[in-house]
Every structure is written in structure tokens, then in C-alpha cells.
Amino acid sequence: MPAVPWTRVKLAALLACAGVVYFYRIDRASFGASEAYSIFAATQDSLRAVIAASLSFDPGKPPLYQLLLHGYLNIFGASELSARSFSACFGLITTLLLYQLVATSVSDRAGLVAATLWSFNPYVVMIAQWARPYSLLAFTVVLSMYTLWRARRAATPVNLALLTLSLAACLYAHMAGVLCVAAAMLVIATDYFRERKNSIAAGAAVLASLVMFLPFLTTEARQAHSLLYGHWLDWAGFPHHVSAARILVVTVAAAATLGVALSPWSNRFRNGRAVQFYLIWTLIPALAITTISLALRPLWAIRYFVPSLLAGSALAAICLDRLRPWLRVAVCTIVVLGFVLGISIYEFGRREPWTLMTVLIRQEGGDTQPVFFEKGSIINAGGMGTDGFPEGYYRVPFDLYFKGGAPRMVVDSSDPEAARADIGAAALRFGGAWLISGKDDVTASNELPQRGFLIRRLMSDRQTTLYHVIPLNPDGDNR
């Protein structure tokens, strides 16, 4: 029986360790608010309803993740463990595929280093334990990189078809897939200017992926416009005006990126082509997000940099591969130990309020008292705070855990006087009322009746606060 190559043993050990980290207490916390919308969409009765719910309540994200999760939950159920394990599985497959990509383009040793740097990154651990589309996005990105690398080397029908399908899947996984298509086209453009014979075939495969995305293109464009010029959630900063300084910064960065991509320097040293390939995949998505952030509104959430983080792990591995063995081991050990510390901090602080909230409401005997939610998104911006969630952003996660018969009602935080009247009247009628607020204390207090009422702030967790409104007497003044 032939001996198992030592590299395979190391890779198996790496995947086993990553699996332990990804699945460790994965079901400890209740679903977060954003996760609840994933579950809400994925547990609809039909595929058409899944798509409709995804587009209505999870804008900017094509429905591939919710559709796949729909099938997965139909088999394994909709618990925290099963829903999050879907992302954890994609996390492990992404690690394996990243190893294969870097091993093919550079070396087995570099592949192991890249897979290690990626798999134990605290952010990667977070998305692997999160019922959101980002672990799927990472998988489709690395699959697109791998199939592009293969198609550039051998433009066989199979390789070209796999490139088309992987990029199409990337587009349907997340809006950031557009950035990956741009990176792929720039890689192919560099090949074309160097008279590589496979560049035209690979370019046609990329264009074919765009054709496959045409059925969703209009919806994607409409959602992108709404997200950039409206305001749905808290991840986007406030809009700002374009300035000459910002235009100059973006122009210089774009020129530098094109210079790196199109210059012939990569032919002059070992693994130069691989370095240029990963540089393009690192710089193009990061530059696009930076441009939007400077020109329109800040989009600095790290999850949108997934393509850059993947390629950056490969770049770091190539650099470490050039070090002396003892120095490479020392650097990797220090980095991984830092990652372990980051993972520990993340796991220690991981919590969600919804299970505790339902317990508190039941303990207070408020199962039949109305629960009020604030219309619209978590925060107000530019007078558009009530768009997108007419029943309140927190309604879906609350309903996921609270099964009592308490009426659900909504108030408009932009009209505090009406909110006070509605909450006060309901509290008088039912002997009490609840407000689940995502606003700051000042805004929330303006929504609550004061005279004649006892206001109890029972819990506050990040952006979520639970208030109990209790009338002091039947004739209390709720102004």
C-alpha cells in the first residue's frame, strides 16, 4: 500500500482543525436579526416565495443563497445548528479549494500556508458560523479564480464551461460578484495584450456568465440604486458629495492598479504570473468599494472585501514561501496565535437578544400585552428611515422566537407624538405594552408615554432595547 503524501496529511489535519473551530458551539447564540431574514426567506413554502421574500427583505443580495438554504433546511430543519452548518460546510470547501488553487499556481507548501491564513482568520470563522450568504460568496469567488486559472492554461470546453458557471454562481450569490467579473476581465485583458492564445476563449466564457445573469440584471440594478441612494440598513454610511480630492485619490489608485495589471514585470521573476493574478483579484474589488465609498457613501464593511481577502491570503502565502523555513514557521505561528486570540474574543462576545427577550416578556406576564416595533430600518438617514420594513426591522427575528399571542403593532419614530399616543393607549387597554427599539435612548424615550406610566428598561443589547410600559392608574395621562 503506497504511503500517503505528507502534504495530504497536513491538509487533512488543517481541515479537521478548521472544522472543529467552525462547528464549535455554533448553535449557542440565537439567530441575529439579519440571520432571521435568511431563515424567513429560506423557510417559505415555494421557490417563488423564497425569491420574493429575499428581494423584499434582503436587498442587494441575489437569491442563490436563500434558494440553496431552502433545500438544505427542508432536509435538516431550521435550527441554529442546521442553518449555520450550511455556511460552515462552505467554509471548509473554500479552504480546500483555496489550497488547490495556490498549490496549482505556486506550490503545495504555499497552498497550505494560504489555506491556513484564510481558514483561521477570525472574520472567516465568523462568516462560517453565520447564516448569511458570505461563506457561499467566498466559495464562489475562489471557485471562479480556480476555474479562470485552469481555463487560461487549457481552454478546453469543460474548463470554459466551469468558468462560466462559477462566475454566474458568484453573480447570483452576492452583488460583489460583479467585482469578481471585473477582476476576471482584467486578468484576461493582460493575457490578450501578451498574445496568449486562450484569452479570447476565456473572455467569451466570462461574457457567457454575464448572459446567464441577464434575467436578474434589471432587479440587481434597481436594488443597487436603492441601496446607494436610499437607506435600508445600518451598514451604509451617510451620503456625501463628490470632491476633487476624492476624485484625485480614486484616479491615482485606478492608474496604479492598471499599471500593475498591464505591465510586463511579472515575467521577470519566479511565480510572477501568479503574483500578478492575485494582485488583480485583491486590488480590483478593494478599489471598486473604495471608489463607491468615496464618491457616494461609505461601504467599509469587511464582508464586502471577501474577494480581496481570499486573494490577499494567496499573496501573503507566496511572500512567506520565499522565507527561510524557520522564519516562515515562526511568522505563521505568530499569525495563527493572533488569529486564535481574535477567535476567542469573538466567541466570548457572541450573543443575540431574542431568546432572553422572550424569557423576560414571559416572566413579566406580558404574553398578551401588545409589542410595538419601529417602522423602517434600524436607523434614520435623510428622512428615509421608514422604507423597506413597514412592520419594523425587528419583527421577523422576534416572531422567530416569541410564540405568544401578544398583538404586534408598529409606530413611526419620525412622529413621536403619535407613537406616544398609540403606545399609551395600548398600555391602558391591555394593562401594559412593550417597545422593541433599535433607536438611541433619546429617540426611544420620545416615543414612550411618561406621565402616568412606569417605563422599565429591561434589557439592552447592542442596537436592541426592550422597554415595558406599565400604566400607574387607569386614568393615566399618556402625553
pLDDT digits (tens, 9 = 90+) for 381-430: 333 344 568 888 899 999 999 988 889 999 988 888 999 999 999 999 99
Are 322 and 466 found together in one domain? no
Long-range contacts of 242-245 (CB under 8 A, 24+ apart): 242/294, 242/295
476 assigned to some structural domain? no
pLDDT top residue among 273 and 468: 468
Residue type, 126: M
Are 115 and 43 found together in one domain? yes
pLDDT top residue among 177 and 271: 177
Are 337 and 363 found together in one domain? no
Are 330 and 369 found together in one domain? no
Please give the model's pTM, rounded to 2 decimal places.
Answer: 0.89
Q: Which tens digits make up the pLDDT trace of 285-336?
A: 888 888 777 776 667 678 888 999 999 999 999 999 888 888 888 998 999 8
273 assigned to some structural domain? yes
Are 302 and 412 found together in one domain? no
Q: Please, are residues 151 and 160 in contact by the beta-carbon 8 Å criterion?
A: yes
479 assigned to some structural domain? no
The rounded distance, in Å, linking the Cα atoms of 461 and 475 is: 33
Strand order in the sheet with 408-411: 408-411, 371-374, 433-437, 464-471, 453-461
Domain boundary residue, one of 349, 384, 405: 349
Q: Other C-beta atoms within 10 Å of 214: how many?
A: 8
DSSP lists the bridge partners of residue 433 as 469
In the chain, the number of structural domains is 2
Q: What is the pLDDT of residue 59?
A: 73
Are 39 and 54 found together in one domain? yes
Are 411 and 341 found together in one domain? no
295 assigned to some structural domain? yes
**At residue 182, does pLDDT exceed 50?**
yes
Are 338 and 401 found together in one domain? no
392 assigned to some structural domain? yes
Are 320 and 417 found together in one domain? no
Domain boundary residue, one of 293, 317, 349: 349
319 assigned to some structural domain? yes
Q: Please, are residues 95 and 15 in contact by the beta-carbon 8 Å criterion?
A: yes
148 assigned to some structural domain? yes
Are 235 and 371 found together in one domain? no
Domain boundary residue, one of 314, 330, 349: 349
**What does the DSSP 8-state code read for residue 413?**
T
H-helix or E-strand containing 42? helix 33-42
Counting every residue, how long is the chain? 479
Q: What is the pLDDT of residue 474?
A: 55
**At residue 167, does pLDDT exceed 90?**
yes
Q: What is the pLDDT of residue 244?
A: 64
Domain that residue 79 falls in: 6-349
Are 44 and 87 found together in one domain? yes
345 assigned to some structural domain? yes
Are 293 and 341 found together in one domain? yes
